[in-house]
Structure 1
Amino acid sequence: MADIHVEEFYKDAAIALVQLYGAFPRRINVFVEDIAGPDEPDEFGLHSKRHMACFGALLWLAEEGLIRYVDTIRQEALDQAVLTREAFIRLSSPAPQTLVHALGQLQAGSSDTLPPSVQEDLSTHIHLIRTALKSGHSGRISQAMQATFFADRPVH
């Protein structure tokens, strides 16, 4: 079992990537509160560790070249964020079939009944992430995010 902060990181990153993919190529504001839930700063104006961990996950995604943004809005949000080319290609690309089947995306025999274009859509990294988030199962979210992070980098 992974450390709880790593599982929260995977979930935060997954939610942010799904939001940005859904808006692509538009730039949007990504609010920490929409990902990690409401947070009330303490009497000194400091956010909770959970809030700051989520904010840190967003910054990490940018540092690793998966998202770009114009500025931060205090420690509340990323202003005008968008997926990078690399992230868009990675999220749109097919995930390994073993993982697709392991996470229950394609049921046995369904490949015979679904059109190839639908099969392709159901096997992308973004679909795996969305499905894992819907399940709410932290292990599935972690698996989907690890597969996305460790996928072969696109050729430039």
Structure 2
Amino acid sequence: MADIHVEEFYKDVAIALVQLYAAFPRRISLFVEDIAGPDDPDDFGLHSQRHMACFGALLWLCEEGFLRYVDTIRQEALDQAVLSRSAFTRLSAPAPQVLSEKLAPNTDQSGLPSSVERDRSTYIHLLRTALKSGSSSQISLIVQSTFFLDPELQSVH
């Protein structure tokens, strides 16, 4: 089992990417509270460790080239954030069938229009599905597979 902060990182990354994808190509303000939940700063105005971990995850996404932003709004948000070309392309790409089967093993897509099948096979759809499930292991698997390229899953594609 992964450390809780790593599981929270994967969930924060997934939520941020889904929000950015939904707004693409518009630039949006990406608020930490919309991702990690409400925060209650202490008497000195310092945010909780959870809030700062989520803010750090957003900055990491930028440093790794998954998104761009114009400025920060204190430690509350990234202002004018947008997915990078490579992140948008990756999220729009079809995922290996074995990954889809791991996340939704009993989903029969036969008989669906090809456009719906294509949409349901993308990484962004799998991210949304994993977030809806609430399963930390599913969220971790799809985030890792989307951006860290699990060699075992990629070879099946």
TM-score bucket (shorter structure): over 0.9
**Cα RMSD for the two superposed structures:** 1.3
Q: What is the match of residue 75 of structure 2?
A: 75
2:143 aligns with 145
Q: Deviations over 1:33-68 (max 9, x none)?
A: 011111111111111000000000000000000000
Change (3 A) 1:111 1:40: closer
Distance 2:133 2:30 in 1: 22
Hey, what does 1:52 align to over in structure 2?
52
Q: Check whether the contact 1:90–1:151 (CA below 8 A) recurs between aligned residues.
A: no
How many percent of aligned residue pairs carry the same amino acid?
A: 73
C-alpha change, 1:106 and 1:86, in structure 2 (3 Å) is farther
**Equivalents in 2 of 1:102, 1:50: separation in Å?**
29
User: What are structure 1's unaligned runs of at least 5 residues?
Assistant: none
- Kindly report structure 1 stretches of 4+ aligned residues shifted beyond 4 Å: none
CA distance in 2, matches of 1:34, 1:111: 32
Please state how far the C-alpha of 1:112 moved relative to its aligned partner.
2.7
- Range moving further from structure 2, 35-44 or 6-15: 35-44
User: Which letter does structure 2 place at the counterpart of 1:56?
Assistant: G
Residue 134 (structure 2) pairs with residue 129 (structure 1) = no
- Separation in 2 of the partners of 1:3 and 1:132? 19
2:99 is aligned to 99
How many angstroms apart in 2 are the aligned matches of 1:151 and 1:119?
22
Please give the alpha-carbon distance, in whole angstroms, between the structure 1 residues aligned to 2:66 and 2:39.
Answer: 26
AA of the residue aligned to 2:48 = S
Q: Which residue of 1 aligns with 2:154?
A: none
Match of 1:8 in 2: 8
Distance 2:48 2:61 in 1: 20
Question: Matches of 2:128 and 2:110 in 1, distance apart?
Answer: 23
Superposed displacement of residue 133, structure 1: 0.3
Q: Which amino acid aligns with 1:141?
A: I
Letter in 2 for 1:7: E
